[in-house]
Amino acid sequence: MTLTLTHYLVLAALLFCLGVYGAITRKNAIGILMALELVFNAVNLTLVAAGRFRPQSDGVGQLFALFVIAAAAAESVLGLAIILAIYRRRVVVNADEMDLMKN
Amino acid sequence: MAEMILFYALAALLLLSAGLVVTVRNIFHAALYLALALFAVAALYVMLGAYFLAAMQVLIYIGAVVVLAIFVINLTRTVTGAPVTLTRRWVIPAALVSALTASLIIVALLKSAGPAGAAPDGAADPAVQGSAAANAAAQGTAAALGRHLLGDFVLPFELVSVLLLSALIAAIVIVGKDREEEK
């Protein structure tokens, strides 16, 4: 019995689900962002594993993962900047208290 | 089956730490578990032969994203409660973690330099070489990725640089705003 693509895909699916669970249950906005990082990593794991077990992909899976990392870095920088800006103005970090645009 | 054992150990570590990221009550601890989970993913990248990507994972995710999250957690600490005491009790574990990180980066970079990299001392190494096709071994190198980035994928590559620049400017504008209004 050897490692197959399915092993990695199942692991990535579990990781993805944990991330989604965290994004839903966390009240703290920073916690939500960190759960989203888990989701990005799950997707990256599927991309890299698919590239590794499908030789005709010619390394493009890793390339996509690299782009996802860059996009995720930009996303987390902006997310944390917004959290910090809201905190300075309103002294809240919980997502359900951020209702500035509600009315 | 060394490869299987390694995979299941890493998978267990990854899922355990990811579970703690989303369940633990102290947000600071969650950030530390996130670093552990990301490290496990980097180790899985090494198993998959993606050495350059593993190095980038450690540098960008653990080195930048998690550190940034910890900064914001500390800056907003008055609301999150649970004062974080920075003691020197964990000197040995901290040294161990930093040494392991360094060795991972070094192994990844050595591997990335060429398919016939010297000194295969990482635990993942025999597993990778045991089952990898010759094609897959060459995929993970920085040279192969760079050829793609400046070849077929030059447009997305340039777009990413624009994205990162705009994110940088936007972050400065968003966070720097309050200071102007105070004056």
Best B5, B16, B17, B22 residue to mutate vs chain A (most A CBs within 10 Å) = B22
> Of A14-23, B63-72, B87-96, where does mean pLDDT reach its minimum?
B87-96
Q: Report if residue B137 sits inside a domain.
A: yes
CATH number for B49? 1.20.120.1200
Q: Report if residue B57 sits inside a domain.
A: yes
Nearest residue in chain A measured CA to CA from B9: A11
Distances (CA, A) of B47 to A49, B5, B43, B175: 10, 12, 6, 40
Residue B94 structural domain: 2-152
pLDDT at B37: 94
Average pLDDT over residues B161-169: 92
Residue A47 has pLDDT above 50, yes or no: yes
Residues B179 and A85 sit within 8 Å (Cβ to Cβ): no
A3 has a chain B CB within 8 A of its CB: yes
CA distance A14 to A7: 11
pLDDT at B38: 94
Task: Please indicate whether, in this complex, the C-beta atoms of A34 and B69 are within 8 angstroms of each other.
Answer: yes
Confidence of residue B113 (pLDDT cuts 50, 70, 90): low
Domain boundaries, chain A: 5-94
pLDDT at B166: 93
- The beta-carbon neighbor of A84 closest among B132, B149, B175 is B175
A38 has a chain B CB within 8 A of its CB: yes
Q: Report if residue B24 sits inside a domain.
A: yes
Average pLDDT over residues B12-25: 89
Instruction: Give me the number of domains chain B comprises.
Output: 1
pLDDT at B89: 59
- The beta-carbon neighbor of B4 closest among A1, A33, A67 is A1
Topology annotation, domain A5-94: Helix Hairpins (1.10.287)
Residue B93 has pLDDT above 80, yes or no: no
Percentage of residues in chain A with pLDDT exceeding 90? Answer: 24
Structure token digits, residue A62: 């890793």
Residue B127 has pLDDT above 80, yes or no: no
